[in-house]
Amino acid sequence: MADQIPLYPVRGAAAVASRKRAAYYSAAGPGAERPGRFQLEDESAHLDEMPLMMSEEGFENDESDYHTLPRARILQRKRGLEWFVCGGWKFLCTSCCDWLINICQRKRELKARTVWLGYPEKCEEKHPRNSIKNQKYNVFTFIPGNQRIPSDMVFLRTSEKAGSCFIRTDQLDGETDWKLKVAVSCTQRLPALGDLFSINAYVYAQKPQLDIHSFEGTFTREDSDPPVHESLSIENTLWASTIVASGTVIGVVIYTGKETRSVMNTSNPKNKVGLLDLELNQLTKALFLALVALSLVMVTLQGFVGPWYRNLFRFLLLFSYIIPISLRVNLDMGKAAYGWMIMRDENIPGTVVRTSTIPEELGRLVYLLTDKTGTLTQNEMIFKRLHLGTVSYGTDTMDEIQSHVMNSYSQMYSQASGNNANSTPPRKAQSSAPKVRKSVSSRVHEAVKAIALCHNVTPVYEARAGVTGETEYAEVDQDFSDENRTYQASSPDEVALVQWTESVGLTLVNRDLTSMQLRTPGGQILTYCILQMFPFTSESKRMGVIVRDEATAEITFYMKGADVAMSTIVQYNDWLEEECGNMAREGLRTLVVAKRALTEEQYQDFESRYSQAKLSVHDRMLKVAAVVESLEREMELLCLTGVEDQLQADVRPTLEMLRNAGIKIWMLTGDKLETATCIAKSSHLVSRTQDIHTFRPVTSRGEAHLELNAFRRKHDCALVISGDSLEVCLRYYEHELAELACQCPAVVCCRCSPTQKARIVKLLQQRTGKRTCAIGDGGNDVSMIQAADCGIGIEGKEGKQASLAADFSITQFKHIGRLLMVHGRSSYKRSAALGQFVMHRGLIISTMQAVFSSVFYFASVPLYQGFLMVGYATIYTMFPVFSLVLDQDVKPEMAMLYPELYKDLTKGRSLSFKTFLVWVLISIYQGGILMYGALLLFESEFVHVVAISFTALILTELLMVALTVRTWHWLMVVAEFLSLGCYIASLAFLNEYFGIGRVSFGAFLDVAFITTVTFLWKVSAITVVSCLPLYVLKYLKRKLSPPSYSKLTS
């Protein structure tokens, strides 16, 4: 028995695992059976034939367990003091540190909760157990109209008679259209408001989650017979940061503070540091190493005589000008100047610079991530086209539709008044005989009526001032007043359709949960009873309604949806697919409208099956969808509609400019896939010659693997992916998805939550290392804007939340072109030149100090003292060097006309180790020439070496500024002469500084000598020798290897 027990069970487990793998991979024959493809989601063995990177965690775990087991056994044998001395103290310290870190970083676990209503004896404390403990809000919260909802609530009761209200969610999901919310029916039916405190009921809510589009909960009332159980969904919730748009609401608080959806979908802002600052930091570190190395060399050449460490520190202080202390001051002042120039630009009025530390980032961007609604589009829909198969109507022929509708209803009512009894049978015969060709007028009338009935739009009437009591009469008085009516729906497309039917004569005047009323051109009111509503979903891509005409008792099933979903439902036709393609190429959003007449028996049969499917516990969604699909057969195709979502001004040329500049544009939106794809085409985000690969919905690792391989085989095509599929791919194949997506010319991500937008930004930053820019206009874009290297906010209809959180605020999307091409380019080029020149200014004077010390037997004696060292970096060279912030290599008009010039900026060639080494060599050459020239030419008057070399140094710096400038500005000339004048004036006042050592050495300035011709020509000779070769080299470089922009400026 004991002999059968393995001594090393882990080794045995590893061997078994390896045998299983060997058996799996050896089963490669044609008849070999392998495990099913989707048996286990995390099992990666079945994906071996696909070329994606696979995780080998399982193999690593087996080996690591085998190696760590003997080590653990050895530790177990040691006890007491021996164990503590041999490493136990390390284990104890590590454990204590880990425990403290876990305590500090521990997050409160999110839990589901039950909130009781009424019956205070159920509550053991002031607030119910496992519910909200927040002193700011009561459990019940009353919110009047046009007020922001303070916390996440379940909607219990409203002042609206229909039991529903509208809320605005623009600060949560970025959509400006209103959303319909429905109160819990049990609490809405209570006779009085105070009954909420007397019932015995509770709300069960799931634990807080990120998803703003879903919610699961239940409402239970125990004191009724039988007990009432209602399921709660997203339509029964009121999320924080949304606004009540109609009526007043009362809700029970379920989530507050950090548990609300709005807070969970926001991220903490980060401190943004520009790429130029990081590059200058690296160069400063290199200069520090050069400082230490130079000081050590000087001490070594001294021979380490005496207290050498004291001399080492003295040399560190003497050469400290190598470290450009004034660099930070100059750069910050330059950035403030760039921000002032941006805000003063008349071509981009209203632009605000809120972060003055990263203007250079505007010139280094590679990825631009943009929102859709309100950023690229105005979110204003306009009805453009109605196609009936044989005839098409555009914006210029809408009057014909209006006349057809008027004729149809006038004929109908003339027949009804002439022969009221026999008016119904002919209409039934007509509807039951579709083979009879209808007239154009009747077809137009049927299409307009279908569009006016098949929707979820609600007309809203604003209350008149002064109306307080008798609300019922007031409502009746307002019912059909056109000036007070506005339409609200969850989709702006549907509002545009209903507004169009109003313009052609058929007006929606009233609607509640069970009926709707239409007004004909003649003023008659048609009432329709809503029997069933089938809302739009991203899976079905269509919505439908079953209505009964109160006048004729006819039952009709109307349906509209995307052409992909409707083409298999409607009767055979030969024009639908072609016309849908034509409208899509025009940038229109298409909807196919169809109908089917039902008899009373057909509807009763459907209703019984539909009610039974809704009561099922298992697979409810599938059963309901199957019952609805039984009606969706051989429907009569009525029309095809085209609606245009108006783009912002100059969106197309701006996107074209950015694409030519080498910037890859990603569109991240919370809208539907079809809408996002349509806007990507109409805005030319995806060019007409490019294909679009729509990533299929995936839910498991295997499906994601297959779809990624399908996408890998595509070349030069844009990617369209939904947020759910993106989440699955990021979980298992983050690296592969990023690699494939970054190769695409454009990417569209739809149904993205705010946190997903921020995660995509961080993914691009980590995987590519390139600079990213995010632009949006709503509160749902704040996380993305704060996560990007450069955030731009647009002041739009969705408020100023994005604008206030951004680094730069603009008023229109088209302004981003000039912001990047002109100001981004100028800021980067100017800061690069300014930073390197400040480093050169410190290196040249340190080189002169090194030469001076070498001549004096490596003595640690300062060459310049006191005010000279201070004035060198301030009064004498400050203005000319800082005037480089006015320099420009390309005119703004040229930069806008040729955006291809922007591509060179992303390569970072204006500031690199190559250009830095060039400036170091220039500094060493000029410093050596100035110092050795002063020693050679002034051998007889060596006492004046300070005045001589310092004068030549100032002249050299002024000439080097002139050499660096590309385009002269009048302020640059003023700065040059002002600095030269300050230096000449200081010669008379600071004569004690222009000598070797202090006054105690007796070295005073000889004014008579400085005014001689000998002094002037010798200083001029040194200056010419130090600068003339550089001018010659610059001329030759421009002739032999000119920059790309020089061909345009010539």
Q: Are 945 and 935 in contact (CB under 8 A)?
A: yes
Maximum separation of any 2 CA atoms in the chain, in Å:
131
How far apart are the C-alpha atoms of 659 and 667, rounded to whole Å? 13
Query: Could you tell me which residues are beta bridge partners of residue 510?
Result: 517
As a whole number of angstroms, the distance between CA 887 and CA 901 comes to: 17
Strands annotated E in 648-770? 664-668, 691-694, 717-722, 746-750
Of 996, 824, 806, nearest in space to 341 by CA: 824
Write down the residue that tokens 């339409």 correspond to.
487
The crossing angle, in degrees rounded to 10, of helices 825-855 and 275-302 is 0
> Cα(375)–Cα(175) distance, rounded to whole angstroms?
11
CA atoms of 991 and 292, how far apart (whole Å): 33
CB 561 within 8 A of CB 543: yes
Helix H segments across 392-470?
398-418, 424-432, 440-453
Residues β-bridged to residue 39? none
> For residue 1039, which of 1026, 1027, 1050, 1029 has the smallest C-alpha distance?
1050
Which stretches of 909-997 are assigned E, i.e. beta strand? none
- Distance CA(446)–CA(595), nearest Å, equals 9
Q: What separation in angstroms does the CA of 899 have from each of 774, 817, 905, 910?
A: 20, 9, 11, 18
Q: Which of 170, 173, 371, 671 is an active site residue?
A: 371
Supply φ then ψ for residue 254, to 5 degrees. -120, -35
Phi, psi angle pair for 1021, to nearest 5°: -65, -45
> What's the alpha-carbon Rg for the chain, to the nearest Å?
39
State the sign of the Cα–Cα–Cα–Cα dihedral 451, 452, 456, 462. positive
CA distance 801 to 103: 34
Tokens of 879: 């203005």
Active site residue 807: no
Distance CA 712, CA 126 (A): 59
Phi/psi zone of residue 112: left (φ > 0), alpha (ψ -120 to 50 degrees), beta?
Answer: beta
In the block, which residue shows the tokens 């010390």?
853
The SS3 of residue 562 is: coil
Half-sphere exposure of 447 (CA within 13 A, CB side): 29
Residues involved in catalysis: 371
